[in-house]
Chains A and B, each alone.
Chain A
């Protein structure tokens, strides 16, 4: 026996090459697509949270416009309205806004009205509602009328519908973009796997003609490509998690509120990515192996 080769120390090499220069580009492409898919997922989650935050905030508040009667000053009418509303079940807090605040609100349209003492500027009462059991508009309206107050209850429903519609659209668009990128990532993983296997057609042919079972050949390629895709998915997901963490840190306690309120828990959304990439690659590899083997006979 040759001194150079000692069978006693010989270890069988894997049936497939341990690494291949072609795999580098494949890993990179899969990693980039996984990164984009994860980033989109984080964006969709943050957009959903932002939209929910806006509507929750609007739903939890109401504004009362109080028009003072001739026998009462605007301040006393507003104070009475606040006091009345504070006693309505489902109201957490009712606070009459100062005259300056009401004037500031109409300043964009009428300019400075502080000097126009005769102008009947209505007073506003800000009401904070109990989020679990908020007072209804009708209940507040009845309570104010019972006290002889001329007031208009604005529960923000007019523009809450617009906000909700916008928030819903943002969610759907985000989800659609995510699905498109995820589908593109899946398709590229599958395509790249097929291309990678086609390049190894000779190995499939030799194993097949040497008597390897079809399932054995499929398993070899399946685990090989699944491992590579999982590694690429891990790189992509890791990159997206780092970007997400950066956004969270850059935005302070609540992320880039209110535009992109990223929470630490959102970063968990990238975890399934390596598994999903591996599953797509495994299925693609198995189907491709089966197709290649069919072509051989």
Chain B
């Protein structure tokens, strides 16, 4: 971890890449899942999002990747208040964010290569323009020999790495990963974390939702810790357990 973790905390709210101002969120008429969250993330920062199951980690990520709207407060992305972004312009914002979904959401009818290339095709790139980059990226995540394989034939760790490749292929400014190491063994988890650190070194802002407190503690990276929908800690990992 070569980046200075304190830089992420000292960031001016005005230049933050993600900023929540008193944000709450609920699903339908259910009680609030997130309550009065206020924080900001600096460009190029690396954060872990921690908290017990049901604390609201996935909901918070959904607000960032524009899959949900807050019931109260303002979410700013790239300096823009997303509530003021017209619907037709929201896809362009989404293309600046890469997401590794908890359920991975790979498309079964597409090969590993086509799944990884999906964001580039959606962005309007021609096959000639991206085929080399995608092949190299898949080689980088260790899927060199599995490019032609269909997702159903991939092992759990391979699927996870494919989902990561798809999330980063378009060089997003923000990468969100929801429990990316949840279904893989320790060795694979370390490899995946190294991938994220590499991406962070290249300037990508990273937020990883995880249960793995051991990994968080060893990384020394800042933490957003939420419990029962409230942000209870934003800063370096606590050492009191």
Contacts and interface: CB of A to CB of B under 8 A. Distances in A.
Partners in one complex: yes
B105 A214 contact: no
A208 B68 CA distance: 12
B91 A212 contact: yes
A205 B111 contact: no
Contact of B135 (A7, A205, A214): A7
B150 to A, nearest CB: 10
A7 B105 contact: no
B114 A13 contact: yes
Interface stretch (B92-100, B192-200, B201-209, B226-234): B92-100
A1 B69 contact: no
B122 A297 contact: no
Interface stretch (B4-12, B140-148, B217-225): B140-148
A207 B122 contact: yes
A264 B145 CA distance: 61
A206 B144 contact: no
Contact of B131 (A4, A7, A16, A213): A7
A216 B135 CA distance: 26
A198 B140 CA distance: 36
A5 to B, nearest CB: 4
A4 B127 contact: no
A206 B132 contact: no
Contacts of B135: 1, 5, 7
A63 B90 CA distance: 81
B117 A210 contact: no
A297 B75 CA distance: 14
Contacts of A209: 65, 67, 94, 99, 101, 105
B88 interface: yes
Nearest to A216: B122
A5 B147 CA distance: 7
Contacts of A118: none
A211 B110 contact: no
Given A2-B147, A5-B147, A12-B127, A211 B114 contact: no
A206 B147 contact: no
Q: Which of B92, B118, B122, B135 has most A Cβ within 10 Å?
A: B122
Interface in B128-144: 131-132, 134-135, 139, 144
B107 interface: yes
Interface residues on A, range: 20 to 34
A296 B119 contact: no
B113 interface: yes
B144 A213 contact: no
A224 to B, nearest CB: 12
B122 A211 contact: yes
Interface in A1-44: 1-2, 4-5, 7-8, 10-13, 15-18
A8 B114 CA distance: 14
Nearest to B133: A7
Given A209-B65, A216-B122, A13 B109 contact: yes
B83 to A, nearest CB: 12
A218 to B, nearest CB: 13
B123 interface: yes
Contacts of B2: none
B113 A214 contact: no
Nearest to B148: A5
A11 B87 contact: no
A117 interface: no
Given A206-B118, A212-B91, A2 B65 contact: no
A159 to B, nearest CB: 67
B67 A206 contact: no
B145 A4 contact: yes
A154 to B, nearest CB: 74
Interface of B: 65-69, 87-88, 90-92, 94-95, 99, 101, 105, 107, 109-111, 113-114, 117-119, 121-123, 127, 131-132, 134-135, 139, 144-145, 147-148, 166
Given A209-B94, A210-B122, 13 more contacts: A12-B117, A13-B111, A17-B109, A18-B109, A202-B105, A205-B105, A207-B118, A209-B65, A211-B95, A211-B122, A212-B122, A213-B91, A297-B66
Top-4 shortest CB links A-B: A211-B95, A17-B109, A211-B94, A7-B131
